[in-house]
């Protein structure tokens, strides 16, 4: 593993993390392993051997520009959910032909950008289709599209990350497909090239991917019978990782084994992993502020918080927690919490840990996905810096947010607005 313990100290590849913590000014900070990132992509590439397939990394999981460039160099494509992610992917060097633009609420300026660059766009609804049509008319350019199908498959995950069920806001019900196909036949600038579905996230039962592949294969055959030349089948992402350190999470090979024999031979498979690419490649490194007892309740208070890593508070998600250095105090059952003024501000609950000294380094593992990407400046807890380890080399790949950054965005020079006219034309 790229993160490992040696003589009581946490290492990230060849770097002792305590030495890094003592060297840098920032705390907390995110730390990533380039070796783990490459190994995760290689696991997908090996699993896809013999298939016509594309690994399209879900940029929303972690959009750090340096990490994106590494993934681009590993021949990943990019899955986007906003116009700004599209701009970032271009900056990272991804080719527009290797991008897919998803989302249930794509705005008109975002669609104009996608059409301008020739990015494949996923159709999510009736109004979304009409907005895409308008964007192609305005640009005078064609665009390739996928139809996102809502397969109504329950993935047995937290409801906030289940996206393929009937009540989800995402996708098109299968019985509505005829309407969309009829509409597309009348729009020569829109070229339907495939179907798409996405079941959710943190999925550990690969049988649901098998079920989705069977359904989507049947739908592909039906759509082809209506004269559409489909080239792609996009089954989304969502493979879970071993947050609990139980050793039972499925691998990319398990995922692909569930799909083999269920995919049309003449289609290119697109998969959209995010968490399973970058999740275990990152960790949140914190310092202990102090230890507190309230009766028989014990707390470790750190400078890391829900502002830096919201997954535990938002999803009641588990992250393994430990120390980056030897800690030999009396063990207790602790809640690991931060300084934010919310009772929901915790990184972990009911963890058996030795009592740490003040200033001890603490690590929240497997925080590379939806960690920094979902961070905030709530309570003016400023967004953390990010560092990348590659062998024995450390690079700062994002500086920490500063108070000046926050203040400047709110300064009068930054928020000057033109006069607003009332409905009667008077200023």
Active site residues: 341
CA proximity to 34, closest of 62, 10, 12: 12
- Which residues make beta-bridge pairs with 269? 53, 233
Nearest to 347, CA basis, from 309, 387, 397: 309
Residue with tokens 């289940």: 162
Q: How far apart are CA 7 and CA 19, in angstroms?
A: 14
H helical segments located in 93-187: 108-117, 126-139, 177-185
What is the rounded distance in angstroms from the CA atom of residue 366 to the CA atom of residue 318? 10
Contact 146, 120 (CB under 8 A): yes
CA distance 123 to 133: 11
Is the preceding peptide bond at 272 cis, omega within 30 degrees of 0? Answer: no
Contact 152, 166 (CB under 8 A): yes
Distance of alpha carbon 101 from alpha carbon 129, whole angstroms: 13
CA distance 388 to 326: 23
> What totals of helices (H) and strands (E) does the chain contain, helices first?
12, 21
Beta partners for residue 364, in sequence order: 284, 321
Tokens of 103: 């989302």
SS (H, E, C) 67-94: HHHHHHHCCCEEEECCHHHHHHHHHHCC
Task: Give the length of the chain.
Answer: 427
d(CA 41, CA 131): 35
For tokens 């949140």, what's the residue?
284
| Nearest-angstrom CA–CA distance, 321 and 284 | 10
Q: How many Cβ atoms from other residues are within 10 Å of residue 94's Cβ?
A: 24
Among candidates 62, 67, 68, which has minimal Cα distance to 94? 68
What distances in angstroms separate CA 353 from CA 78, 150, 199, 249, 309, one per listed residue?
Answer: 40, 44, 36, 24, 20
Separation CA 172–CA 164 (nearest Å): 10
């Amino acid at each position: 593993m790229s993160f490992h313990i040696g003589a009581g100290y946490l290492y990230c590849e060849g770097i002792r993390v305590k030495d890094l913590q003592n060297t840098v000014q920032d705390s907390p900070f995110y730390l990533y392993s380039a070796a783990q990132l490459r190994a995760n992509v290689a696991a997908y590439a090996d699993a896809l051997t013999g298939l016509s397939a594309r690994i399209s990394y879900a940029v929303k999981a972690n959009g750090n520009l340096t990490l994106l460039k590494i993934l681009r160099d590993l021949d990943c494509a990019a899955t986007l959910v906003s116009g700004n992610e599209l701009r970032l992917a271009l900056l990272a060097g991804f080719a527009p032909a290797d991008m897919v633009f998803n989302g249930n609420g794509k705005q008109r300026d975002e669609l104009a950008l996608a059409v301008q660059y020739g990015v494949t766009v996923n159709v999510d609804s009736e109004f979304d289709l009409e907005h895409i049509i308008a964007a192609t008319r305005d640009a005078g350019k064609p665009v390739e599209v996928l139809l996102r199908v809502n397969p109504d498959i329950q993935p047995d995950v937290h409801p906030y990350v289940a996206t393929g069920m009937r009540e989800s806001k995402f996708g098109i019900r299968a019985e509505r497909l005829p309407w969309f196909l009829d509409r597309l036949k009348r729009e020569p600038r829109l070229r339907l090239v495939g179907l798409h579905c996405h079941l959710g996230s943190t999925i550990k039962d690969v049988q649901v991917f098998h079920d989705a592949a069977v359904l989507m294969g049947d739908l592909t055959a039906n759509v082809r019978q209506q004269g559409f030349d489909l080239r792609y089948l996009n089954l989304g992402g969502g493979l879970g990782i071993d947050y609990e350190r139980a050793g039972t999470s499925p691998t990319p090979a398990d995922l692909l084994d569930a799909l083999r024999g269920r995919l049309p031979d003449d289609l290119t498979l697109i998969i959209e992993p995010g968490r399973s690419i970058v999740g275990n490649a990152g960790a949140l490194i914190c310092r202990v502020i102090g230890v507190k007892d309230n009766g028989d309740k014990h707390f470790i208070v750190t400078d890391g918080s829900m502002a830096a890593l919201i997954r535990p508070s938002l999803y009641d998600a588990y992250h393994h927690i430990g120390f980056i250095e030897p800690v030999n105090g009396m063990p207790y059952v602790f809640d690991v919490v931060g300084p934010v003024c919310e009772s929901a501000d915790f990184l972990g609950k009911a963890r058996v840990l030795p009592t740490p000294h003040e200033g001890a380094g603490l690590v929240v593992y497997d925080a590379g996905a939806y960690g920094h990407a979902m961070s905030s400046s709530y309570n003016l807890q400023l967004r953390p810096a990010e560092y990348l380890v590659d062998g024995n080399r450390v690079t700062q790949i994002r500086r920490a947010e500063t108070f000046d950054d926050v203040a400047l965005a709110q300064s009068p020079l930054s928020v000057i607005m033109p006069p607003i006219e009332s409905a009667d034309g008077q200023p």
